[in-house]
A = this chain, B = another copy of it.
Amino acid sequence: MKLPKPISNLIDYFERLPGIGPKTAQRLTFSLLNFPQEELERFSDSLTQLKKGTKLCRVCKNVTENDICSVCDDPLRDNKVIAVVASPLDAFALEKTNFKGVYHVLHGIIDPLNNIGPEEIFIKDLIERIKSLVEENSFENIHEISAIEIILATNTSMEGESTAMYISKLIRESGFDDKNLKITRIARGLPVGGDIEYADDITLSRALEGRLSI
């Protein structure tokens, strides 16, 4: 039995999505057969509109409908605290923590094995952004100035760690007056509810290194 072409076509597309194997792709496609045609048309429209209806924020490169995203546009957010993340989803996750700074979305991570170098992601834009932020703030009253902070919030995977390392090195080499520029990395340690007994060595030694006085 050969599957009809319209069905195998759609299965192929679903299979190209992350985490979707052949079985799931089949299940999704066949379940869509039970949708009314108008629903399929609307689903289809939202696929074509996904990129047409969105652009990257001029300031932070997050996806947005306008020139500037709602976070960068919000006067209540502290634009001197920038969390550098790999993807819009990471910014979305941090957003749930009541973080009151702003973001910089790299849209990727340095990964030489997959041919992604520093030029492929928005690192240069980050340096430019920090540069103009430093200039803007250098005229302010020196007593009132709050330091600029760059929080490197990439994954704690090998690629995430080396991207964070690369960016911090690049910022330090860019010759900013670093009295007012702090570079930080998110803490690595045991997840909440974690078991010391089952934690791996590296996580545990990171948890010790990062200990805080209480």
Contacts and interface: CB of A to CB of B under 8 A. Distances in A.
A4 B41 contact: no
A127 interface: no
A204 interface: no
A178 interface: no
Contacts of A24: 19
Contacts of A51: 6, 33, 35, 37, 40
Interface in A11-46: 13, 17-20, 24, 26-33, 35, 37, 40-46
Q: Is the interface of A mostly helix, strand, loop or mixed?
A: helix
**Copies of chain A in the complex:** 2
Contacts of A7: 50, 54, 63
A46 B89 contact: no
A147 to B, nearest CB: 24
Given A4-B53, A50-B7, A65-B6, A27 B89 contact: yes
A47 B10 contact: yes
A52 B35 CA distance: 12
Interface of A: 1-7, 9-10, 13, 17-20, 24, 26-33, 35, 37, 40-54, 63-65, 69-71, 87-89, 91-92, 95
